Amino acid sequence: MLQKIIRRALATVVVLIGVSIIAFLLVRLAPGDPAKLMLPDTATEETIQAMREKMGTDKPLFIQYLTYMKNVLKGDLGTSYHYNRSCSQLIFSRLPSTAKLAGFGMLLSLCFSIPLGMIAGIKKGSFIDTLSMFFAMIGQSMSHVWLGLMLILIFAVNLKWLPSMGTGTFKHMIMPAIVIGFQFSALATRMVRSGMIDVLQEDYITATRAKGISKFKVYTKYAFKNALLPVVTVVGSQVGAMMSGSMVIETVFSWPGIGSLTTQAIYNRDYQLIQSILLISATIFVVCNLLVDILYTFIDPRISFN
Amino acid sequence: MEDLLKIEDLYVEYRVGGTVAKAINGVDLTIGKGEALGLVGESGAGKTTTALSVLNLLPEKIGFITKGKITFDGRSVLDMSDKEMSGIRGSKISMVFQNPLTSLNPVFTVGHQVEMVLEHHKHLNKKEARAEAVKLFAMVGIPEYRLNDYPHQFSGGMRQRVGIAAALACSPELLIADEPTTALDVTIQAQILEMMKDLQKQYSTSLLMITHNLGIIAELCQKVAIMYGGKIVEYGTVEEVFNHPKHWYTIGLINAIPKLKGERERLESIPGLVANSQDLPGGCSFHPRCRYCTEQCMNEIPATEEVAEGHYVACWNRRT
Ligand SMILES: Nc1ncnc2c1ncn2[C@@H]1O[C@H](COP(=O)(O)OP(=O)(O)OP(=O)(O)O)[C@@H](O)[C@H]1O
Ligand SMILES: [Mg+2]
């Protein structure tokens, strides 16, 4: 078991090296000379060249990459020229608030979609089932921006119940968390529902009922666990969806997280920062998936690592 | 002998989409206390449906009891509340399911699947239930250290033993065994049957043994009921029915058993296909496959007659 986990972790490292190369190349290949950006328009060719040397962009790509990786391994992600601060400092100061938002959004959507999906699956064909499927369809097709703006319009502008932007209190977190978790709750509702429908037809559920276990307990203890398994598998991949979603959502709600930092970095052509964010996000994504895979082997005894 | 289970004039339908399958069409059956009854019939005859009806566990919104009465220990099963029924299932009536590969929950340990019966009915705590489960597993020949394994780590035969251990956990008055050995290979079949025989004697449990293997019936049961197209076509003591079969379907079944002694004859098979519950033939369901079919057989449902003491047959043109 441990051996398998280690092997899987090694594979993760390979993926991350690939990601670092891609992140590095994407940023280098983008048009525009970062050195010029750092300097006023009036800068002479000489000062620009001096800047290039200082930034290391005059060297061959391969050497640049190696230098970069050497620094990364030392924990140095480089300096953001725009903010004039170290990238890692910038990223790690923003990371907790994104994590808080995504975590709360995920929790919110699970609290909502698991009961809804279960009831819909148990009462297949009923009104609540139709309603849940309607919600799932809308949820999967609605854009973050539109939903965010609508919520702001209703709850911040008209009803004045919730603040439309910023951070600090719990109230600030509600709307962005709903938006970030919305697509996932639609997906999860659908998965729990179909899982429940499938599981309830299984022989082992009839067998459990034949042991005298009440319907309620069968639903909430036994079928629940079977139906929930597929949802766990998508939680990992949802981390990626949430990170990309956070770019838009944090901008809409002025939430000071990684998402809005990314948007800013792109506006500012802050190459070093973009590259570091890419690397860190990818690491988070891959590690989350690894954790989910490990977790999955504990809840589903049939799956062993491979 | 006192009756433990009495099924009277039972009709069951499955409704899926637009189609209706008439799975049970007027079944009468009685099992006495301590008695073992074999229920025989081809695939699709309605054996599992009969068993699930007794537990009132037909698939919801699909299987419907349209008529009939089931009495267990003097009380009507179909009129019981959910709570009363939960008290009986798994304790007074328990069932071993047909397919051991699908009837254990894959994400719970085999130990838990037996312990949950004990926790529910005997109100034992986790520790007591474990101790009790260890004894039950020992009885069916599974060592203690395997209790924390999951079903996929077990072979089919071992899983069936788990099913049997769970079914026997509360020493039921009626054990329904739905083809407990069909999914297993022959040597394990024999072991499991031997075990069930011992246990039935030990606890004087009544047994409803569902199978299409007549050998098993001869080995284990006192009475036998032959089912075809959702009806009991012949019923009586095992000796009487096996030695003097009267219904042509029963005769066909008996002739289809290979014999080791004597000359090797060609095995006789029953011509035609099993009756389709979605499209049952009129009159006697067996008539399209019967060599002795008469005009009356095609049009009228045969009445059940007592041809010898305790030997009932539903056939217009039975063997004399
Ligand atoms: N869930 C269901 N939905 C629809 N039809 C069903 C369902 N279960 C059983 N039937 C139908 O009811 C009839 C009786 O089925 P049943 O399972 O009781 O047969 P059986 O005698 O147990 O057969 P086998 O030996 O194959 O287990 C069959 O014709 C079958 O097609
Ligand atoms: Mg069956």
**Cβ contacts (< 8 Å) between B82 and chain A: which residues?**
214-215
Q: Is the pLDDT of residue A238 over 70?
A: yes
ipTM score of complex: 0.89
Specify if A87 maps to a domain.
Answer: no
Task: Please tell me the residue having the least CA distance from ligand 1 atom 7.
Answer: B14
Same domain, A155 and A52: no
Q: How far apart are CA B41 and CA B228, in angstroms?
A: 6
User: Which pLDDT band holds residue B210 (cuts at 50, 70, 90)?
Assistant: very high
In sequence order, which residues have a C-beta less than 8 Å from that of residue B266 and are 6 or more positions away? none
Find residue B22's DSSP bridge partners: B13
Q: With the CA atoms of A274, A279, A280 and A283 taken in that order, what torsion angle do they form, in degrees rounded to the nearest 10? A: 160
% of chain A with per-residue pLDDT over 90: 22
Same domain, A39 and A184: no
Q: Which amino acid is at A292?
A: V
Specify if A85 maps to a domain.
Answer: no
**Cβ contacts (< 8 Å) between B56 and chain A: which residues?**
none
Residue range of the domain that includes A17: 2-73
Task: Please tell me the residue having the least CA distance from ligand 1 atom 28.
Answer: B44
Specify if A196 maps to a domain.
Answer: yes
More confident residue, B267 or A287: A287
Tens of pLDDT, residue by residue over A134-145, are 999 988 888 888
**Cβ contacts (< 8 Å) between B72 and chain A: which residues?**
none
Specify if A45 maps to a domain.
Answer: yes
Same domain, A148 and A290: yes
B120·A301 Cβ contact <8 A: no
Residue B195: CB atoms within 10 A of its CB come to 17
User: In this predicted structure, what is the pLDDT of residue B177?
Assistant: 93
Same domain, A194 and A231: yes
Starting at the edge strand found earlier in the chain, the sheet holding B3-16 runs B19-32, B3-16, B63-72, B75-76
User: Which pLDDT band holds residue B264 (cuts at 50, 70, 90)?
Assistant: low
User: Which pLDDT band holds residue A306 (cuts at 50, 70, 90)?
Assistant: very low
Task: Please tell me the residue having the least CA distance from ligand 1 atom 11.
Answer: B23
In sequence order, which residues have a C-beta less than 8 Å from that of residue B220 and are 6 or more positions away? B36, B38, B193, B196, B197, B200, B207, B209
Q: Ligand 1 in contact with B311 (CB < 6 A)? A: no
Question: Once rounded to an integer, what is the mean pLDDT over residues B77-97?
Answer: 93
Of the residues A196, A198, A204, A300, the best mutation for testing chain B's interface (the one with the most B CB atoms within 10 Å of its CB) is: A204
Q: How far apart are CA A130 and CA A133, in angstroms?
A: 5
Question: Once rounded to an integer, what is the mean pLDDT over residues A215-235?
Answer: 88
Specify if A140 maps to a domain.
Answer: yes
On whether the CB atoms of residues B126 and A242 are closer than 8 A, the answer is no
Same domain, A34 and A134: no
- Ligand 1 atom closest to residue B276's alpha carbon, by position in its atom list: 29
A213·B166 Cβ contact <8 A: no
Q: Is the pLDDT of residue A304 over 70?
A: no
User: Which pLDDT band holds residue A25 (cuts at 50, 70, 90)?
Assistant: confident
In sequence order, which residues have a C-beta less than 8 Å from that of residue B120 and are 6 or more positions away? A211, A212, A213, B90
**What DSSP line would sit under A187-208, residue for residue?**
HHHHHHHHHHHHHHTSHHHHHH
Same domain, A180 and A274: yes
The CATH number that applies at residue A152 is 1.10.3720.10
Specify if A250 maps to a domain.
Answer: yes
Among the candidates A18, A45, A73, a domain finishes at: A73
Q: Is the pLDDT of residue B21 over 80?
A: yes
Phi-psi region of B56 (alpha: psi -120 to 50; beta: other; left: phi over 0): left
Q: How many CB pairs under 8 A join A and B?
A: 78
Q: Is the pLDDT of residue A54 over 80?
A: no
Same domain, A195 and A105: yes
Q: Is the pLDDT of residue A305 over 50?
A: no
Question: Once rounded to an integer, what is the mean pLDDT over residues B133-145?
Answer: 90
Same domain, A230 and A291: yes
Among the candidates A13, A38, A73, a domain finishes at: A73
Specify if A84 maps to a domain.
Answer: no
Q: With the CA atoms of A122, A126, A132 and A133 taken in that order, what torsion angle do they form, in degrees rounded to the nearest 10? A: 100
More confident residue, A159 or B128: B128
Tell the burial category of B75 from Cβ atoms under 10 Å away from its Cβ (0-12, 13-18, 19+).
exposed
CA B164 to chain centre: 14
In whole numbers, what is the pLDDT of chain B averaged over residues? Answer: 89
Tens of pLDDT, residue by residue over B211-263, are 888 888 998 899 999 999 999 999 999 999 999 999 999 998 888 877 666 66
Same domain, A120 and A267: yes
Count of the separate structural domains present in chain A:
2
More confident residue, A171 or A116: A116
3-state DSSP assignment of residue B231: strand
Same domain, A59 and A200: no
**Cβ contacts (< 8 Å) between B55 and chain A: which residues?**
210
- Ligand 1 atom closest to residue B50's alpha carbon, by position in its atom list: 18
3-state DSSP assignment of residue B228: strand
**Cβ contacts (< 8 Å) between B146 and chain A: which residues?**
none
Specify if A82 maps to a domain.
Answer: no
Among the candidates A73, A102, A132, a domain finishes at: A73
B184 in contact with A, Cβ within 8 Å: no
Q: Ligand 1 in contact with B180 (CB < 6 A)? A: no
Ligand nearest to the CA of B96: 2
Q: Is the pLDDT of residue B292 over 90?
A: no
Same domain, A62 and A210: no
User: In this predicted structure, what is the pLDDT of residue A303?
Assistant: 67
User: In this predicted structure, what is the pLDDT of residue B116?
Assistant: 95
A201 in contact with B, Cβ within 8 Å: yes
Residue A204 C-alpha, separation from nearest chain B C-alpha, in angstroms: 4
How many angstroms separate the alpha carbon of residue B40 from the centre of ligand 1? 14
Same domain, A140 and A22: no
Q: Ligand 1 in contact with B44 (CB < 6 A)? A: yes
Q: Is the pLDDT of residue B294 over 60?
A: yes
Question: Once rounded to an integer, what is the mean pLDDT over residues A267-274?
Answer: 83
In whole numbers, what is the pLDDT of chain A averaged over residues? Answer: 85
How many angstroms separate the alpha carbon of residue B212 from the centre of ligand 1? 14
B105·A209 Cβ contact <8 A: no
Strand extents, DSSP E, chain B: 3-16, 19-32, 36-40, 63-72, 75-76, 93-96, 174-178, 206-211, 223-228, 231-237, 304-308, 311-314
Of the listed ranges A122-131, A164-173, B223-232, the one predicted with least confidence:
A164-173
